[in-house]
Amino acid sequence: MTQHQDVPTTCPERLHGRLGVPQVVFMVVAMAAPLTVVAGLIPIMIAVGNGTGVPLDFILVALILALFTVGFSAMTPEVKDAGAFYSYVQKGLGKVAGLGAASLAITTYLVLLVAVSAYLGAATRNALVSLVEISVPWWALAGLCLLAIGLLGYRSIEMSARVLGALLVAEILAVAILDLAIVLQGGRNGLSAAPFSWEAFSQGAVGTGVMFAIFGFIGFEATAVFRSEAKDPDVTIPRATYIAVLLIGGLYAFTAWAVINGAGVDQVVGMAGASPEGLTTDLANAYLSSFAHDTIQVLLATSFFACVLTAHNVVARYLFALGNQGALPTRFGAVHPDHRSPHVASLTTSVVVSGLLAVMALFRLDPVLEIYAWLGGGGTLGLIMLLTLTSVAVVAHFRRTPGRVSLWKGAIAPTIAFLSLGFILVLVVRNFELLIGTAWLAYVLLAVMVAALLTGPAWAAWLKARRPATYAAIE
């Protein structure tokens, strides 16, 4: 019997691009989907979280993620692969942990991609009904949007960045206009700083509020996924990550404060509880016009489109990086000769997501109350697990290589981030049934994420036994 030989025959292909800081920021902030957070998440946080203390939830999470970014950015020049989380974990904690993080990251982003694609179909359907009174099944609209996203993902990243830039500017402008209208008109009962007080923050379910707040930052860490397509990535990626965290946190905190004042500090909790999905659009109608109400509905659909496009590009680049290293079939690491895009990985992502969404549509699941709510919660758990693991990897890496960066960057900031994220992870696990809404499904999603992480040892063992040269080449 002959032993399997694993001999690399070609040099790995590389992605190329000229993305600057603004383009990378557009990509990741688009995934955070600001308008969807303002219209959908903030009212829920007010209703079931800590009420008028929501602005401080976002500020607290922004500070924690800024601390995470200190170590994340310090390690960026030493991580050359565009694998984001898994590349950092692999560098700091070794191949086994790195492959576990890779499996967890792909699972997390695929779950989020399916969740947001379902809401995209529902939001598009609602916009059509509102504007032209035409009702089309959500799954058909989601399928059309996924086709357009697949075409953009197949082409160069610069095209996706231009589309995302235009959509993101439109939705942030809509949010800013609503904020400005509320502030200039003095809110419902005059402007109040009470939402920024400790009394407001500490009321109600603080853990639930913080748990939902971190969901609003999903995508900020994806800056590292685009390092191969960025100009001067060692500068572009850290700078874009800091800007994304501060922009997202500042926008959400200010808008939450404006929404609370627009509805009235004493009335907003009741209003959010009675109609969370209509709170923001009703404020647009009251402080601006019915045209603003309709415009926000349209921009809500485009916001989800932008979110899905970025998530699609992130998953494709994870598959590409793993294919490039040989951890997955090498065809995933192929680069299109004209578009310089990871076209095979992108097509694979489109097929998998469309297939999963089709299965859920066949089971007649509700796109928002079931698919989005369930899988969005599962994705949140996966993201927090990845953030926590990456913080440990940063500390471990700089302990092995002392003197590379300051004590603050290499130890203190990432340790504080790890402790904070670990505490949030405990909160999420303890309240996971609340986040998902169904006990049995909460256990299933929790098991899926843990299993994805534990895939690392098995994956590493298989590579070491069957493809030893590939395993040895993983750095």
- Ranges of each domain in the chain: 21-42+52-175+211-253+287-461
- pLDDT confidence of 13, banded at 50, 70, 90? low
CA-closest candidate to residue 44, choices 274, 245, 282: 274
Give the global pTM: 0.85
Say which residue the tokens 């003197």 belong to: 403
Instruction: Please give the pLDDT value at position 368.
Output: 81
Lowest-confidence segment of 45-49, 95-99, 229-233, 449-453 by average pLDDT: 229-233
Instruction: Please give the pLDDT value at position 8.
Output: 46
Phi and psi for 338 in degrees, rounded to 5? -100, -50
CA torsion, ordered 239, 241, 247, 250, to nearest 10 deg: -110
Overall average pLDDT of the 3-13 stretch: 48
Overall average pLDDT of the 288-299 stretch: 85
Average pLDDT of the chain, as a whole number = 85
* Confidence check: pLDDT of 358 > 60: yes
Instruction: Please give the pLDDT value at position 18.
Output: 62
- In a 13 Å sphere around the CA of 454, the CA atoms on its Cβ side amount to 6
Q: What are the tens digits of pLDDT across the range 45-68?
A: 898 889 999 999 999 999 999 999
Instruction: Please give the pLDDT value at position 6.
Output: 52
Query: What is the Cα Rg of the chain in Å?
Result: 22
CA-closest candidate to residue 30, choices 145, 227, 165, 226: 165
Q: Are 96 and 460 in contact (CB under 8 A)?
A: yes
* Confidence check: pLDDT of 233 > 80: no
Task: Give the pair of three-digit tokens for residue 30.
Answer: 């688009």
* Confidence check: pLDDT of 251 > 70: yes
Overall average pLDDT of the 28-43 stretch: 82
Task: Give the pair of three-digit tokens for residue 340.
Answer: 């310089």
Q: How far apart are CA 246 and CA 21, in angstroms?
A: 14
* Confidence check: pLDDT of 392 > 90: yes
Q: How far apart are CA 249 and CA 154, in angstroms?
A: 32
Please report, rounded to a whole number, the percentage of residues in the chain having pLDDT higher than 90. Answer: 37
Written as one letter, the residue type at 99 is L
CA torsion, ordered 183, 188, 189, 190, to nearest 10 deg: 10
Task: Give the pair of three-digit tokens for residue 104.
Answer: 């967890």
Instruction: Please give the pLDDT value at position 230.
Output: 65
Q: How far apart are CA 391 and CA 413, in angstroms?
A: 9
Q: Are 62 and 246 in contact (CB under 8 A)?
A: yes
Please give the full DSSP string across 246-295, using - where no structure is assigned. Answer: HHHHHHHHHHHHHHHHHH-TTTHHHHHHH-TTTHHHHHHHHHT-HHHHHH
Q: Are 72 and 422 in contact (CB under 8 A)?
A: no
Q: How far apart are CA 347 and CA 289, in angstroms?
A: 42
Instruction: Please give the pLDDT value at position 26.
Output: 72
Overall average pLDDT of the 371-380 stretch: 86
Q: How far apart are CA 132 and CA 135, in angstroms?
A: 9
* Confidence check: pLDDT of 102 > 70: yes
Task: Tell me the CATH number of domain 21-42+52-175+211-253+287-461, given options 2.60.40.10, 1.10.10.10, 1.10.1040.10, 1.20.1740.10.
Answer: 1.20.1740.10
CA-closest candidate to residue 326, choices 153, 454, 224, 460: 460
Lowest-confidence segment of 98-112, 241-255, 336-350 by average pLDDT: 336-350
- E strand spans, 363-424: none
Overall average pLDDT of the 185-205 stretch: 92
The single-letter DSSP state of residue 412 is I
Maximum mean pLDDT: which of 238-242, 270-274, 396-400: 396-400
Q: How far apart are CA 139 and CA 47, in angstroms?
A: 29
Instruction: Please give the pLDDT value at position 301.
Output: 87
More confident residue, 195 or 310: 195
